[in-house]
Amino acid sequence: MRPSIEEILKGIKFTLKEVIVPDLRSPWPQWMVEQIDYFIDHLIIRYQEEPQMLMDENRELREILSEADRVFRAVGIDRNDASLVRLADEINEQLKAQPHEEVGYNPVPFMQEENNILKSKVCESIKAMERAKEEGKIPSLNAVRVKIRDYIKRQVKREGPFMHSLFGVKRDT
Amino acid sequence: MSTDFEERIAEYLRGKMPHVENLTLLKLERLYGGIGRETYELSVRWEEEGKLVTREFILRRDQPAGVFRDTEVSLENEYNAMKVLYHTEIPVPRTYWFESDPKWFNRNFMIEEKLPGIVALEAVTDSNQREKLVDQFIRYLAMLHTLDVGSLGLPKADIPTDPRECTAREIAKWERAFMREKLEDDPLMVEALVWLKKTQPKKVQRISLLWGDPGPGNFLFEGDKIIALLDWDMSHIGDPMSDIGWICWRGSYYEEELIPAEALFRLYEKYSGLKIDQESLHYFKVFGLFVALTCCITGKNSFCTGRNLQMDHAAIGMGTVQLFRETLIQWLGL
């Protein structure tokens, strides 16, 4: 379908700059339009790169949670910690679920939903590990924690290019 | 601005000043800058005891939804703090009325005196002038922190008996706020909360009334004299290192550094008699960043839920959050 989403967004940018802005007199609307321009750049980047980013991130989260499932189950059984085993069960259930398989492809909203569910399990894992740590050092839990922290650093770095455009850091779109 | 807004303000003032006659609102102008509240300058004229009086006021009003909720940061808190401080040597604008009756504008607002001056410290290019202003700023901050909290007339329930309780209360408050406002789960913020709970300062020198949001942009000045300290809605009781940490974390961004940190510490220690505790300072830099992130996430929530569709709330919720997250990772040592 033409024009593409990207082409339309560039057309909107042009219209704002060439038609709307020259008629604005007050600083507040001028600033608002400048912000809208930054958001259009942000949307272009998201259109180009968000699907791949979400696929990569969700795959990474699944790998981490697979390990968490295995380690939590082993530690939970070993230390008779029912809450850790329960968390392992919940993670396992989530990893098995393929909620949108019947659709045949992965629209961005579906991947976003899965991303949030996987991150919520990571958050629960952090809290569970912290609780278990208070009861004594467990090297296998530490290894999972390190993987989570590495993921956090990569996640923030991955999102940088999407967000920096909102400060007028222009990319070649 | 709508005529209805102007008429309502005039009607409100007539009700509050029944001893005057012919009160008229001459001018209403919105002042832009800052994202927390709407701020308006009013010029009002009336007759009093046969004389014509013209006075200017500032009206501060809550936004329909924004980066704060009253449970953490409220206009009422600001009004109460300023009322208490007006009777000390800390220069703050005189407050007249705080209004929570929704019949006026469906949002809380307060009216205070308008004072002369500007807030844009970045506009000061004269290093001598800037040095004098910063010196006064630190002197007032030290004065604030060494006020006797027990004799300020604050509610007893607000004053912890154990100094270490101050920080625990603040953590609980901002954790509640984050959990309420987040639209997405965030492992980084969970790591930050774990760290904040585990690493609370063990040594607290004293319990002080804190500004909450000290720094450039939040004080009025004219020439080389500070006229008033502003923006008290985050004021609370706690460890004075919290305010110092706040200045330091803000100083990492937007060219908002007041003065180099070592100079700040030296002056603060000289004027307050307190010692800068480096561990506590780092703690409160992280805490300040966590609070700022939570406020940005609140702004994002306001935008995403349609309660405030101004683009700057989306920008803060995404762009500013990203910058802060990048710093938080470093400061947590992840």
CATH of the domain at B264: 3.90.1200.10
* A148 near B CB under 8 A: yes
Q: Is the pLDDT of residue A110 over 60?
A: yes
- Helical ranges in chain B per DSSP H: 3-16, 75-85, 127-145, 163-181, 187-198, 241-250, 261-272, 278-304, 311-315, 321-332
- Asked if B168 and B267 sit in the same domain, the reply is yes
A169 — pLDDT class (breaks 50, 70, 90): low
More confident residue, A68 or B156: A68
Name the residue among B142, B192, B145, B196 with its Cα closest to residue B167.
B196
- Asked if B125 and B15 sit in the same domain, the reply is no
Predicted local distance difference test score (pLDDT) of residue B101? 96
Distance from CA of B11 to the nearest CA of A (A): 28
Predicted local distance difference test score (pLDDT) of residue B70? 81
Predicted local distance difference test score (pLDDT) of residue A165? 81
- Asked if B109 and B152 sit in the same domain, the reply is no
- Asked if B26 and B128 sit in the same domain, the reply is no
Average pLDDT in the A14-25 region? 93
Chain A residues inside the 8 Å CB shell of B325 = 156
| Segments of chain B with pLDDT less than 50 | none
Average pLDDT, chain A: 89
- Asked if B161 and B248 sit in the same domain, the reply is yes
Distance from CA of B147 to the nearest CA of A (A): 39
Which pairing describes strands B51-62 and B95-99: parallel, antiparallel, or unpaired?
A: unpaired
Q: Which of B56, B83, B113 is the last residue of a domain?
A: B113
Per-residue pLDDT reduced to its tens digit, B33-58: 767 789 999 999 999 999 999 999 99
Tally of domains in chain B? 2
Per-residue pLDDT reduced to its tens digit, A94-109: 998 865 555 566 789 8
Proportion of chain A above pLDDT 70, given as a percent: 92
Check: CB of residue A120 under 8 Å from CB of residue A68.
no
Chain A residues inside the 8 Å CB shell of B322 = 156, 159-160, 163-164, 166
- Asked if B198 and B291 sit in the same domain, the reply is yes
Q: A166, B311: Cβ pair inside 8 Å?
A: no
Check: CB of residue B219 under 8 Å from CB of residue B230.
yes
- Asked if B249 and B225 sit in the same domain, the reply is yes
Cα(B212)–Cα(B73) distance, integer angstroms: 10
Q: Which of A120, A153, A160 has its CB closest to that of B334? A: A153
Cα(B2)–Cα(A150) distance, integer angstroms: 53
Average pLDDT in the A57-82 region? 94
- Asked if B265 and B168 sit in the same domain, the reply is yes
Residue A157, token pair as written in the block: 């770095």
Check: CB of residue A53 under 8 Å from CB of residue B333.
no
**Cα separations in angstroms, B4 against B8, B40, B59, B105, B106:** 6, 15, 16, 10, 14
* A107 near B CB under 8 A: no
- Helical ranges in B274-310 per DSSP H: 278-304
* A109 near B CB under 8 A: no
* B53 near A CB under 8 A: no
- Asked if B91 and B125 sit in the same domain, the reply is no
Q: B187, A156: Cβ pair inside 8 Å?
A: no
Check: CB of residue B264 under 8 Å from CB of residue B138.
yes
* B333 near A CB under 8 A: no
Nearest Cα residue in chain A from B333: A149
Predicted local distance difference test score (pLDDT) of residue A173? 39
A172 — pLDDT class (breaks 50, 70, 90): very low
Check: CB of residue B235 under 8 Å from CB of residue B77.
yes
Q: CB neighbours of B1 closer than 8 A, spacing ≥ 6?
A: B28, B30
pTM above 0.95, yes or no: no
- Asked if B199 and B276 sit in the same domain, the reply is yes
More confident residue, A27 or B245: B245
**Structural domain span for residue B140:** 121-332
